[in-house]
């Protein structure tokens, strides 16, 4: 009977699929991220054939070596920057992710952040709860329209294109994008404009939304120089990965009016936040929940299980990276 280890409890759908196959499924009993030592110790307990891991697990050579029988490490996320894929390939271990099923949800969430930061929704909620609302006032908490404005997308993949679609069709925005790969069909379909230099997107956009994976070339993609290129009136929205932005510089940029505001779902040293971030009113902070709807997390659970099942039955999993 194949043995599966799941590093943290996930929605039932996928777990049930694995159990229905007759697999022995062990789940980390505590609702917390395992330290590397704990993960190694858990994996060493039995000869596991597959591991279902999360983006909060750092999967490296030592972890692979703790599960020498495992054919597959199936990540419960579309991003897989937490896994040493090169070492996995050397060892013949399959790595899979969950692309597509969360695109719509993350794009909706990115848009929710765009609307929330431009209309100061989090700030207004806090203001009201604190009992500061003393009556309608003509200049109370003035925000910015987004309709007709320019949205800059950095990384026009699955999620970035969906955000572009909402911007164009929902809010009649002008959409600019930069990606290492140009997509002319999408440009024609949506009416988006490709910029060969990312800097042109930054200079011309009222809102910049980040949708790149975290890889060597995207670490601190939004560094001090690039943040300074944005309009003073512009907002930055990050639902990609925290280290794509130099968070320390972002704090001073927000404090000194280099840009007008930011909405962040991801952070450089999660769950830690850069010093000074929490004290700022012109930033929205959410705890990495862009894909967190019941429907989507359940689909991710099934997709991760399907990848494991196919691998253990000797096939090539559909979402091999």
Which residues are the active-site residues? 241, 270, 288
CB 153 within 8 A of CB 209: yes
Binding ligand NAD (rule: CB under 6 A), the pick from 2, 7, 28, 240 is 240
Q: Least distance to ligand NAD from the beta carbon of 121, Å?
A: 19
Q: Least distance to ligand NAD from the beta carbon of 109, Å?
A: 7
Residues 57-116 that bind ligand NAD (CB under 6 A): 78-79, 99, 102-103, 106
Beta strands of the chain (E only): which ranges?
3-6, 24-27, 50-53, 72-75, 94-96, 150-154, 174-178, 193-194, 207-210, 235-238, 261-264, 283-285
CB 231 within 8 A of CB 203: yes
Burial of 124 (0-12, 13-18, 19+ CB in 10 A): middle
Is residue 166 near ligand NAD by the rule CB under 6 A? no
Is residue 155 near ligand NAD by the rule CB under 6 A? yes
Q: In the sheet where 207-210 sits, what is the strand order? A: 193-194, 174-178, 150-154, 207-210, 235-238, 261-264, 283-285
Residues 200-219 that bind ligand NAD (CB under 6 A): 211-214, 217-218
Read off φ and ψ for residue 49, nearest 5 degrees: -95, -20
Is residue 243 near ligand NAD by the rule CB under 6 A? no
Closer to ligand NAD at the Cβ: 40 or 273? 273
Is residue 181 near ligand NAD by the rule CB under 6 A? yes
Is residue 241 near ligand NAD by the rule CB under 6 A? yes
Binding site for ligand NAD (CB under 6 A): 78-79, 99, 102-103, 106, 154-160, 178-181, 211-214, 217-218, 239-241, 265-266, 288, 290-291
């Amino acid at each position: 009977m194949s043995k599966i280890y799941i590093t943290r409890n996930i929605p039932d759908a996928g777990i049930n699929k694995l159990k229905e196959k007759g697999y022995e499924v062990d789940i980390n009993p505590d609702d917390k991220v395992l330290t590397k030592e704990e993960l190694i110790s858990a994996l060493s307990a039995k000869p596991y054939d597959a591991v279902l891991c999360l983006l909060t697990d750092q999967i490296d050579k030592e972890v692979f070596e703790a599960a020498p029988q495992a054919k597959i490490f199936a990540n419960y996320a579309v991003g897989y920057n937490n896994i040493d894929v090169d070492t996995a390939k050397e060892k013949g271990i399959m790595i899979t992710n969950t692309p597509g099923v969360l695109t719509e949800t993350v794009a909706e969430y990115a848009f929710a952040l765009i609307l929330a930061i431009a209309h100061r929704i989090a700030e207004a909620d806090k203001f009201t709860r604190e009992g500061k609302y003393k009556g309608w006032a003509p200049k109370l908490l003035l925000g910015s329209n987004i309709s007709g404005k320019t949205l800059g997308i950095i990384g026009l993949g699955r999620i970035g294109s969906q955000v572009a679609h909402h911007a164009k069709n929902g809010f009649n925005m002008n959409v600019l994008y930069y990606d290492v790969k140009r997509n002319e069909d999408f440009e024609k379909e949506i009416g988006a404009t490709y910029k060969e230099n990312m800097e042109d997107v930054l200079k011309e956009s009222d809102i910049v939304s980040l949708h790149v994976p975290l890889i060597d070339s995207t670490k601190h993609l939004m560094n001090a120089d690039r943040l300074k290129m944005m309009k003073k009136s512009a907002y930055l929205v990050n639902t990609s990965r925290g280290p794509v932005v130099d968070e320390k510089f972002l704090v001073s940029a927000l404090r000194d009016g280099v840009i007008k505001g930011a909405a962040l779902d991801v952070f450089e040293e999660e769950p830690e936040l850069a010093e000074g971030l929490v004290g700022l009113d012109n930033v929205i902070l959410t705890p990495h929940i862009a894909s967190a709807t019941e429907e989507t997390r359940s689909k991710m659970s099934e997709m991760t299980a399907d990848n494991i099942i196919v691998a253990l039955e000797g096939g090539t999993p559909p979402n091999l990276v």
